């Protein structure tokens, strides 16, 4: 049985094995079908057409869903261009999952509301930014050649991750000018691509830090989690680089709640600094760093902070400070 759905920005086809059945086609409201199936707790369901509508039976449950004319269902484009590559689904998902949360939620600048993917030597580089923070993930990909520079809408990336994160085989990606398809034996997904230019982000990556800190990721995670309780409406926390006491001091204050301070022992190189950050922007990058230790590089007052894993240089995260 083939199931198709589309919102004209993203199209999906899935092939499911069935025990038996006869041929037929219906177009059924997706939200109603999903809600009905979710309420049926049996392991098997029977689907039947009744006078152009869809009957679902599972155990003692039965539902009849009014259908729409299937002739009006929009076609899902098949991309059959010569520009086709294969990549492991795990590599693709790791790349997308490591950066997609940093993309903008606003559609004012579509190139910022997308994940930028391009090839560099034997790696694929995944990048996203909302202009306040930026995430870059480098994924080594075998036998990848001629991967075109691509901008995938962030909303579509979220769906791609859900569909492919449990698949362990290869994904065949085909491109044309405005679309790309992602195919496995069971799934065919086609996404609109953004026609635009991604910012030259490498210019904003600081080259020489004035302060460098190495500390345990768990220590920083816990400190930010508690400081969030006391942060203000702007989610603001203060980082204080303390070379004298070999620590990173974290402070947050809310006039209606109180204030919080914590000193984290760390390996500190360089000069003392004080910078304010959005605690959510800092915390969200931890999911992309498997290392137990983090390296924080401060470029100076009002300059961006660079966060990397101490044992994994494939991921780089940049977050801009906030004004006091």
In CATH, the number for domain 84-201 is 3.10.150.10
**pLDDT at site 224:** 95
CB of 277 within 8 A of CB of 305?
yes
**DSSP letter assigned to residue 288:** G
- Each of the 324 residues of the chain gets a pLDDT tens digit; together they read 999 999 999 999 999 999 888 888 999 999 999 999 999 988 899 999 999 999 999 999 999 999 999 999 999 999 876 688 899 999 999 999 999 999 999 888 999 999 999 999 889 999 999 999 999 999 998 778 788 999 999 999 999 999 999 999 999 999 988 999 999 999 999 999 999 999 999 998 998 999 999 999 999 999 999 999 999 888 999 999 999 999 999 999 999 999 999 999 999 999 999 999 999 999 999 999 999 999 999 999 999 999 999 998 899 999 999 976
- What is the pLDDT at residue 83? 83
| pTM exceeds cut of 0.85 | yes
**CA gap 118, 109 in Å, rounded:** 19
Q: Are 18 and 3 in contact (CB under 8 A)?
A: no
Per-residue pLDDT, 324: 61
- Tell me how crowded residue 62 is: count the other CB atoms within 10 A of its CB: 12
> Which residue is it, tokens 């816990």?
222
Q: What angle do CA 270, 274, 276 make, to 5 degrees?
A: 130
Can you tell me the distance from the alpha carbon of 321 to that of 132, in angstroms, rounded to the nearest whole number? 8
* Total residue count of the chain as it appears in this document: 324
Q: Which long-range contacts (CB under 8 A, 24 or more apart) does 69-73 make?
A: 69/27, 70/25, 70/26, 70/27, 72/27, 73/4, 73/27
The CA-CA-CA angle for residues 275, 279, 281, to 5°, reads 100
Residue with tokens 């069971």: 186
CATH number assigned to the domain with residue range 205-319, chosen from the 4 options 3.20.20.70, 3.40.50.2000, 3.10.150.10, 3.90.1150.10: 3.10.150.10
The reported pLDDT for the residue numbered 12 is 96
Nearest residue to 73 (alpha-carbon basis) of 7, 156, 163, 2: 7
Q: Where are the domains of the chain?
A: 2-72, 84-201, 205-319
* d(C-alpha 56, C-alpha 178), whole Å: 38
- Residues 248, 190 contacting (CB under 8 angstroms): no
| Helical pair 89-99 and 154-164, crossing angle rounded to 10 deg | 140
SS3 string, 147-201, reads CCCEEEEHHHHHHHHHHHCCCCCEEEEEECCCEEEEECCCEEEEEECCCCCCCCH
Q: For the residues of 73-112, what is the DSSP string, one character each? A: SPPPPPP--S-EEEEEHHHHHHHHHHHGGGS-S-SSSTTT
Distance from C-alpha of 319 to C-alpha of 203, rounded to nearest angstrom = 14
The confidence score (pLDDT) of residue 107 equals 83
Per-residue pLDDT at 146: 81
The reply to whether 84-201 and 205-319 are identical in fold is yes
Buried b (16+ CB within 10 A) or exposed e, 290-310: eeebbbbbbbeeebbbbbbbb
Residue with tokens 């155990």: 59
């Amino acid at each position: 049985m083939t199931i198709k759905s589309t919102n004209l920005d993203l199209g999906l086809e899935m092939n499911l094995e069935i025990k038996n059945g006869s041929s037929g086609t219906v177009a059924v409201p997706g939200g109603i079908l999903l809600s009905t199936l979710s309420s049926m707790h049996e392991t098997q369901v029977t689907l039947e057409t009744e006078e152009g509508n869809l009957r679902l039976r599972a155990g003692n449950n039965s539902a009849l869903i009014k259908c729409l004319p299937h002739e009006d269902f929009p076609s899902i484009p098949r991309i059959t261009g010569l520009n086709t590559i294969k990549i492991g689904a795990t590599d693709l998902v790791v790349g997308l999952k490591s950066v997609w949360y940093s993309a903008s939620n606003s559609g004012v600048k579509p190139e910022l509301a997308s994940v930028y993917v391009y090839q560099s030597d034997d790696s694929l580089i995944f990048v996203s930014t909302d202009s306040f923070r930026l995430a870059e993930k480098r994924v080594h990909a075998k036998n990848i050649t001629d991967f075109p520079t691509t901008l995938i809408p962030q909303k579509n990336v979220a769906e791609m991750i859900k569909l492919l994160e449990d698949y362990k085989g290869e994904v065949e990606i085909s491109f044309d000018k405005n679309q790309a398809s992602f195919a496995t034996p069971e799934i065919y997904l086609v996404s609109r691509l953004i026609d635009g230019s991604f910012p030259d982000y490498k210019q904003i990556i600081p080259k020489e830090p004035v302060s460098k800190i190495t500390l345990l990721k768990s220590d920083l995670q816990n400190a930010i989690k508690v400081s969030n309780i006391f942060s203000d409406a702007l989610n603001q926390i203060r980082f204080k680089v303390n070379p004298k006491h070999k620590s990173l001091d974290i402070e947050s204050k809310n006039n209606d709640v109180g204030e919080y301070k914590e000193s984290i022992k760390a390996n500190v190189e360089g000069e003392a600094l004080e910078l304010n950050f959005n605690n959510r922007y800092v915390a969200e990058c931890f999911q992309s760093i498997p290392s137990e230790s983090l390296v924080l590089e401060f470029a100076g007052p009002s300059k961006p902070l660079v966060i990397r894993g101490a044992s994994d240089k494939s991921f780089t995260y940049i977050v801009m400070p906030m004004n006091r």
